[in-house]
Chain A
Amino acid sequence: MGLSELDVRAVERLIWFLHRDGGGVEYRADPAEFLEQRCQEFGLEGTARRLIADCDYGGLIEAGVHPMAALFFSQVNGLPMPLYLERIGASPERVNEFKAAFQRIHGGA
């Protein structure tokens, strides 16, 4: 599932736009439409585009995207931290630890 360095940088640049530059609002309104409009602009295609479209955080990290960028992408998607950790393959103990902490303050993960 490796990506070229060019693809990795393109993914990170897209996430930067989502996290930092206000692209998150446009993305959350209609992720599919956003990707349709923006993937060409950011040079995302093939596997890179699929990993983003699938919100495959573990796959992004495995492909070489910086984990911090993957974490930010999960936040753009509104994914709570415990579920993010679960999706990237953190230990069940760690996931449950965070789930318990989040449930304590939110009543849910």
Chain B
Amino acid sequence: MTGLVGAAATVHAPLILGMPKLAPEAKRVAVDAGFARLRSYVEQCRPDVIVTISSEHITNFLADDCPAFATSSATTNPVQPEFGLAEAEVPSHPAFSSALVSAAQARGVPIEARDGLRLDHGTNLPLSYLTPDYAIPVVPVIVNTVWQPLPPMAQAIELGFALHEAAERSGLRIFAIAAGGISHWVGNARHGDMNEEFDVRFLDMIRHADLAALSALTDAEIDVAGDGAHEVRSWVSVAHAAARAGLVPEVVLEETFVPGWNVSVYQVRWIRAER
């Protein structure tokens, strides 16, 4: 079987890797177990290519040059060594990257292929847990959630549909990883705040594959969960791709508050319905 064979979503809070001991041990153990379960699922799916969808953190783009969506046309992409991430070159898959760009642009998604992207913790924190040896090529997709104007949610949804279509046509086994969110504030006076009500509501939309509710999310609703909450666009993309591929969501980890890291840690996988 080829196409989108599996998918996962996780937060990518850098302190998980950068300062693990800030969190209570029981929470750390739970989060590590969640990542281990997702890693096992990736291995079980035997993907030829992993597609990550994540924000980035002023690593590749500044305000005057920030595409709404970007991917890499390079054969490898370097890891930005930060928060405990080691330097590495992560192999990519230019042919699938190109196919994804074509499918997305055909759906009106303003995505650009750049000649190489640095993978910061947004993309690479999940990869460091799920495929730490980087043996599987990774096509990184970056969603701008930093610089205004942010891409509308409708484009994130179209990106998801395009991902499904490109995967179907590829003859490859594709695994998608969404990274980021859910509620959080970054670098401002509310850094460390959360909006648990939003987190629970959003996770319920994901859990029940409530695509209508996800599609109806407005920027104003997301704003109350923090500037970092706009990273949920990646989850919305993957939820739509997974639904088209006949995959159903299953919540893997639900830690509503981890003190020290001051985040909720949620993880989801999308699996074949018949499993």
Question: Using a CB–CB distance below 8 Å, which chain A residues touch chain B?
Answer: 9, 12-13, 15-16, 19-20, 61, 66-72, 81, 85, 88-91, 94, 97-98, 101-102, 104-105
Contact = CB atoms under 8 A, between A and B. Distances in A.
Given A66-B187, A69-B187, A85-B192, 6 more contacts: A12-B58, A19-B58, A71-B186, A71-B191, A90-B192, A98-B262
Contacts of B22: 101-102, 104-105
A94 B190 CA distance: 8
Task: Name the prevailing secondary structure of the A interface residues.
Answer: helix
A13 B58 CA distance: 10
Contact of B187 (A9, A13, A70, A94): A70
B62 A13 contact: yes
Interface of B: 19, 21-22, 57-59, 62-64, 80, 118, 146-147, 186-193, 227, 259-260, 262
A106 B259 CA distance: 16
A108 to B, nearest CB: 14
B75 to A, nearest CB: 21
Contacts of A89: 189
Nearest to A90: B189
Contacts of B58: 12, 15-16, 19-20, 66, 68-69, 72
A90 B187 contact: no
A20 B118 contact: yes
B187 A68 contact: yes
Contact of A88 (B21, B62, B64, B189): B189
Task: Name the prevailing secondary structure of the B interface residues.
Answer: loop
Contacts of B146: 66, 68
A89 B147 CA distance: 23
A90 B57 contact: no
Nearest to B22: A101
Contacts of B260: 101, 104
Contact of B80 (A13, A15, A20, A66): A20
Contacts of B118: 20
Listed from nearest, the 10 A-B pairs whose CB atoms lie closest are A71-B187, A67-B187, A67-B188, A68-B187, A101-B260, A90-B189, A105-B21, A101-B22, A89-B189, A94-B192
Contacts of B227: 67
Contacts of A72: 58, 187
B63 A12 contact: yes
Contact of B186 (A16, A68, A90, A102): A68
